[in-house]
Chains A and B, each alone.
Chain A
Amino acid sequence: MNQENLLVGLAGVLAAAAPILFAVLGETLSERAGVINLSMNGTILLTAMSGFAVAYTTDSLLLGFLAGMLIGAVVALIVAFASITLKQSQVAVGFVLALTCRDLAYFLGNPFMGVSGPRLQAAPIPVLSDIPVLGPVFFRQEVITYVSYLAIFLAWLWIYRTRPGLMLQGIGEKPAAAYIRGANVNLMRYVYTVIGGALIGLAGPAYSLGVRAGWMGTISGLDGIGWIALSITIFGGWNPARAAFGAYLFALLQWLGLVLQPVLTQVPSQVLQVAPFPLMILTLLLVNIGNAEWVERTLAAMPESTRKFFAKLLRAMRASPPAALGVPFERD
């Protein structure tokens, strides 16, 4: 492979990761507040279809994206209402919504199957796109990809550097403690779930108006992406920066599966297509290995300096979920 192809390929990885990124960031915000939005897979399919349909009908890409965000927010609102106000199981509600939204997408999307419609065009950033290597990889993308870079940074900044972001961490960790510090826990949970839902709703149009334009129904290649995003949220330890790393890693693995196919002819192509999934599971295992008792024991047996190094490494890698994830909050 020559250098140019490699750069184009890497740029493609960044673009392909954008929908996963939006979904992961949305889910991260929602779960940080303590609400699991399990409807993600269905939401992404539904917003991909409706985002394309709206853009096609109105001939406006912007309206397509807004429609996606609105639908994502509405689905998240249902999750929030059922879990926060009605105190029902988030898992059950989310799962049913995931299935419903998926079927709705396939059913309502029929008239738009295979239609060619508007799509985002690459918008190179002047000056920046001329930097060697970095330019072609990062700055000759579609607008939505730039938005995805920005979203990572903003989400990280919000959670770790702002006052409301600290409170958000607190709400997911120990709502009672956040409450005595003046937080309106349930209102904030609504807000973050809905904002998170709107972000998830951006994932669909990012795909159907960008990565792979159009609506192809069941062969869109999109089904399952929500579940992957869910696992990347965990892999990312509810930290936007780490989650972004996970999303890019997954997109990279998928791309490698494609480019390696002609090289590794003796390996059946199905293996390479499926490989990213078990690899993600493996990474998840690695991340959480520090929780296992045998690891602690192995560590304890190591000489002091090595032990300290690995203990630090494991502590840095380990991510524990917000302690109040999925737990309704009641005053006393």
Chain B
Amino acid sequence: MNVELKNIHKHFGKTYANKGINLSIPSGTIQGILGENGAGKSTLMKILSGFIQADPGGEIILNGKPVVIHSPADAIHVGVGMLHQDPLDFPPMRVLDNFLLGRSGGLFPNRGAVAQDFKRLAEQFDFSLDPDNYVDALTVGERQQLEIIRLLWLGARVLILDEPTTGISASQKTKLFATLKKLADQGMTIIFVSHKLEDVESLCHQVAVLRAGELVGTTKPPYNTSRLVEMMFGKIVTLGERQPAKSGEPVLSLRDISLEDVRLKIRNVNLDLRAGEVIGLAGLEGSGQGMFIRACAGLVRPVGGRILLKGRDLTGRSYHTFKREGVNFLPASRLEEGLVPGLSLTDHFVLAEEPNGVFIDRAAGQRLAEERIKAFNIRGTPFSTVESLSGGNQQRAELALLQSPLSLILLEHPTRGLDIESVIYIWSKLKDRCHQDSAAILFISSDLEEILQYSDRVLVFFSGKVSAPIDAATTSVDQLGQLIGGKGWQEKGGSHA
């Protein structure tokens, strides 16, 4: 289906999220939409998928006919389906119920017929989805697959994907890309929204770059990466050099640590994390790395072994003891576990300070907040509530909240969903803290490039198995990808460091 966007404007209050955007996407094209966080990509896609309406004056034209889209239901009716970054599905319900929900028909849906359609579509794209499984047992990648076939079943001819490669494994990404190419060959129009340059470059037939609500330009392959980055940010950004590992005193020592929950068992892990060192934890989501990092934070009690922090035995002590000893944990869900929605930045800084009497010194808190906002380059005011900040700024706020002195920083997906500039900024701040306090960092990421770029050593997790630490400087993304998928464990296997 040919998609044409003409003169799309959208303003929220005084700021323009989209400003006079014109874009034409012919049928069978995979169109990349690039831009940093807040560039207006999401707004544009929400307009096309009916979640919000554009300001009057613009036009959406599908196959030459102007259409009016008031709601997502309207959008799918004219053939536009959207895959949201957080899949909009129903986790406690079965796959098949998720699939058929929203399709019109008689009072009692014919589950047998629906199951046949489901099977046929799943087979067509080589997705192995069990219709009787519950969605909360699926990975993000599988939930995407479910959404894709659901939208196709509803008659989508234009598929919008918002940051689809966030949170899925390398092999799922390969499969997703293959699926998208196949769909494009069948004449579907694919709109691929991302801030990941390598994904866009390897997949898209043409790329449009947005910056500050405006369309900066469009390009076709071969792509020039530095040119794309310049278009995104309006300036040249570089990754910086890898810094060699320093070997200081051990900060965190694990001795024969064993962990368990209902699904997984981790057995006898030994590790010495030294001051100034960064270790990345790689693995598919749910392979045990989450439990492992929580054990290091004192949130999960090991069933065996000892945890030593700078030589002090902290095994079985509470999270608060760990925190007092300088262990800080930044979980993946910023608004659920890390920050308190509803409270302003000032409130957060006041809360994080050592209590000084019962009453709050508002003025001092505000001064502190202003200082930190400046130091950490947070786009917001002392009075901004945390949920009103963008993801990147929330992460900066969390960094600004790290206590001092620190001995160990534990991070879960520290840069998920952030654009390159924010990623670089956050890592430079983290490394600074690391050197300043001679602290160590342990972080989980599903982005293998990030792991190899920023860690000194890597631990790979595969269904509860933990690899020996691997030197990040001599490992490639491919090798790491193999290990994560469970291949090559004979050579690298074992769980001793």
Contacts and interface: CB of A to CB of B under 8 A. Distances in A.
A74 interface: no
Given A180-B72, A297-B261, A300-B261, A163 B90 contact: no
Interface string A164-179: 1011011001101111
Interface residues on A, range: 20 to 34
B89 interface: yes
Interface in A153-191: 161-164, 166-167, 169-170, 173-174, 176-183
A166 B73 contact: no
Contacts of A296: 261-262
A177 B105 contact: no
Interface residues on B, range: 20 to 34
A311 B46 contact: no
A280 interface: no
Interface in B86-135: 88-93, 97, 100-102, 104-109
Contacts of B97: 166, 169
Contacts of B262: 296, 299-300, 311
A266 interface: no
A179 B261 CA distance: 36
Contact of A297 (B71, B90, B101, B260): B260
A169 to B, nearest CB: 6
Contacts of A300: 260-262, 265, 303
A163 B108 contact: yes
A332 B51 contact: yes
Contacts of A301: 260, 303
B52 interface: yes
Contacts of A170: 90, 93, 101
Contacts of A320: 92
A330 to B, nearest CB: 12
Interface in A257-299: 296-297, 299
Nearest to A162: B107
Nearest to B88: A177
Contacts of B265: 300
Nearest to A177: B88
Nearest to B136: A320
Contacts of A166: 93, 97, 100-101, 109
Interface string A135-167: 000000000000000000000000001111011
Nearest to A314: B262
Contact of A182 (B82, B90, B102, B106): B102
Contacts of A179: 71-72
Nearest to A299: B262
B90 A177 contact: yes
Given A163-B107, A182-B73, A323-B92, 16 more contacts: A162-B109, A163-B106, A169-B97, A173-B90, A173-B92, A174-B89, A177-B89, A178-B101, A180-B72, A181-B73, A182-B72, A297-B261, A300-B262, A320-B92, A331-B51, A331-B52
20 contacts: A162-B109, A163-B106, A166-B100, A166-B101, A167-B102, A169-B90, A170-B93, A178-B101, A179-B71, A180-B51, A180-B73, A182-B102, A297-B260, A297-B303, A300-B262, A300-B303, A301-B303, A323-B92, A332-B46, A332-B51
Interface of A: 161-164, 166-167, 169-170, 173-174, 176-183, 296-297, 299-301, 311, 320, 323, 331-332
